[in-house]
Amino acid sequence: MSINKLRRQFFQIRNGGFGALIQKSRLIREVLAKIDSRLLGQYRLRMKLLRIEPMLAPIINSESTGESDQDDQIDVLVSKARELRDQNQLSAASQLLDKAQNDYPESLKVLKNKTQIEFVRGNWTGFCNALSSASALSDRLLAGVDGPDARVRLLGNDWTGPLGHIVQLASIIKLERLGVLSNEKRILLYDPKFVANKFLLNLFLPMVDSVEASRFDIEKLMQQFPALFDDVTTFRLRDRVLDQWSAIDAANVGWIEQNKAPLVKLSAKHQEKGARVLKKWGLSETDWFVAIHVRQGGHREQARLPNAEISSYFPMIREIVERGGHVVRMGNPLMQPLPAMRNVVDYAHAAERIDWLDVYLWSKAKFFVGTQSGGSEAAMCFDTPTIRSNFSSYGHCFDSKNSFMVPKRYRLSGSQNPLSFGAALQSPIPYCESIVHEGIKFEVIDNSEEDLIHAAREMFSRLESNDWQLTDRQVKAQAIRSSAGAVGSLPIADSFLQLYDSFIDS
Task: Identify the pLDDT of residue 61.
Answer: 78
* pLDDT exceeds cutoff 70 at 172: yes
| pLDDT mean over 28-37 | 84
In whole angstroms, what is the distance from residue 121 CA to residue 95 CA?
A: 12
The CA distance from 102 to 453, in Å, is 52
Distance CA 115, CA 129 (A): 8
Percent of the chain with pLDDT over 70: 93
- What b/e string do you get for 322-350 counting C-beta neighbours within 10 Å, with b at 16 or more? eeebbbbbbbeeebeebeeeebbbbbbbb
The pLDDT value recorded for residue 19 is 67
| Other beta carbons within 10 Å of 203 | 22
Under 8 Å CB-to-CB from 123, ≥6 apart: which residues? 94, 428, 431
Q: How far apart are CA 26 and CA 9, in angstroms?
A: 16
Averaged over 86-112, what is the pLDDT?
A: 94
Span of 130-144, 185-199, 403-417 with lowest mean pLDDT = 130-144
Instruction: Report pLDDT for 17.
Output: 67
| Stretch(es) of the chain classified as CATH 3.40.50.2000 | 268-505
Q: What is the C-alpha separation between 150 and 139, in angstroms, rounded?
A: 6
Residue 197's closest CA among 380, 382, 378?
378
Between residues 23 and 147, which one has the greater pLDDT? 23
C-alpha closest to that of 216 among 197, 191, 186:
191
- Phi, psi (deg, nearest 5) at residue 373: -155, 170
Alpha-helix residue ranges (DSSP H) falling in 385-505: 421-425, 449-465, 472-484, 494-499, 502-505
- What confidence score (pLDDT) does residue 66 get? 56
**What confidence tens digit (pLDDT) does each residue in 42-74 have?**
899 999 999 999 988 888 877 665 555 568 899
Q: Please give the CATH superfamily to which domain 268-505 belongs.
A: Glycogen Phosphorylase B; (3.40.50.2000)
Confidence of residue 319 (pLDDT cuts 50, 70, 90): very high
pTM: 0.94
Cα dihedral sign, 246-247-250-251 = negative
b vs e for 37-74, b when ≥16 Cβ sit within 10 Å of the residue's Cβ?
A: beeebbebbbeebeeeeeebeebbeeeebbbeeeeeeb
**Nearest-angstrom CA–CA distance, 473 and 92:** 41
CA angle 438, 443, 447 (to 5 degrees): 135
State the chain's maximal CA–CA distance in angstroms. Answer: 67
Question: Does residue 215 contact residue 272 with C-beta atoms inside 8 Å?
Answer: no
What is the percent of the chain with per-residue pLDDT over 90, rounded to a whole number? 81
Q: How far apart are CA 387 and CA 66, in angstroms?
A: 43
pLDDT at residue 30, rounded to an integer:
84
Segment 309-321 mean pLDDT: 98
Whether the per-residue pLDDT at 327 is higher than 60: the answer is yes
Q: pLDDT-based confidence at 11, cuts 50/70/90?
A: confident
User: Strand, helix or coil at 370?
Assistant: strand
Average pLDDT for the chain: 92
Lowest mean pLDDT among 68-72, 315-319, 416-420, 432-436: 68-72
Cβ contacts of 332 within 8 Å, gap of 6 or more: 348, 353
Beta carbons of 367 and 385 less than 8 angstroms apart: yes
- H or E stretch covering 143: helix 124-143
> What is the per-residue pLDDT across 361-412, written as a single tens digit (0 to 9) for each?
999 999 999 999 998 999 999 999 999 999 999 999 999 999 999 999 999 9
pLDDT attached to residue 63: 63
* More confidently predicted of 376 and 32: 376
Q: Does the pLDDT of residue 283 top 70, yes or no? A: yes
Mean pLDDT of 28-46: 86
Average pLDDT over residues 304-316: 96
Structure confidence at residue 146 (pLDDT): 47
Contact 305, 433 (CB under 8 A): yes
Q: Tens of pLDDT along 334-351? A: 999 999 999 999 999 999
Could you count the other beta carbons within 10 Å of the beta carbon of residue 405? 24
